[in-house]
A = this chain, B = another copy of it.
């Protein structure tokens, strides 16, 4: 029953995800949510063979998108009744969705004061990037050994996609391709817990990284690092791939901290 090697193939439109849909593969895709404008995925009735995801998870997805898209801003309080009216669902599934997002770290639930959008301080962001660094490092270590040749080819293809987006100066596509590459490497690790944990932390950083990508002048600097990463993967150089991935997160912090105006980058 293991769907081991299929992550890249079906990775985009994953069906049911039991442990909360942490996958942002389809984030801000064309026909996406746009929850604030009245039409919302959370309440669509029967889309063509529509995925029968539990309403709670669809609501969670809608809120996730609203957070990442800054329709819900960090620190902002989420009022249950108001949001349930906007999303056109009752409070019950909405509250369950908020519980999910709380466990994912995207919102914080204060007793009797409701949920607020997580607003991590620079130091916390740095900490999360550190964790992400060791996780990707482990993933690289495993991927270099266990990846199939097809998977490595797919990573290279994604790399070219990213180059295409870079050439077109399309930051959004560039960012998405960048994320895809890292997810692809993670999936090569064959370690579900690793993939899931990485997705969780990554989700907590998604918004700030997206903002950083939009604003940073050196937004393309990851290209060279990705070249090295790709070479290490193709050479199946476990140690080098591991080290490069961890260092990669270091330069991510450099860019993020610049945007945040942090003085000492520790």
Contact = CB atoms under 8 A, between A and B. Distances in A.
Nearest to A108: B18
Interface string A124-155: 10011011001101100010000000000000
What DSSP secondary structure best describes chain A's contact surface? helix
Interface in A88-117: 92, 95-96, 99-100, 102-105, 108-111
A127 to B, nearest CB: 4
Centre residue among A30, A124, A131, A191 by max chain B CB count within 10 A: A131
Interface in A158-206: 190-194, 196-197, 200-201, 204
A193 B103 contact: no
Contact of A193 (B16, B104, B124): B124
Interface stretch (A50-58, A220-228, A233-241): A50-58
Q: How many copies does the complex hold?
A: 2
A74 interface: no
A31 interface: yes
Given A30-B108, A95-B96, A96-B95, A20 B103 contact: yes
Contact of A99 (B99, B130, B200): B99
A24 to B, nearest CB: 14
B127 A18 contact: no
A190 B131 CA distance: 12
Contacts of A105: 19, 29, 196
Interface of A: 16, 18-20, 29-31, 52-54, 56, 92, 95-96, 99-100, 102-105, 108-111, 124, 127-128, 130-131, 134-135, 137-138, 142, 190-194, 196-197, 200-201, 204
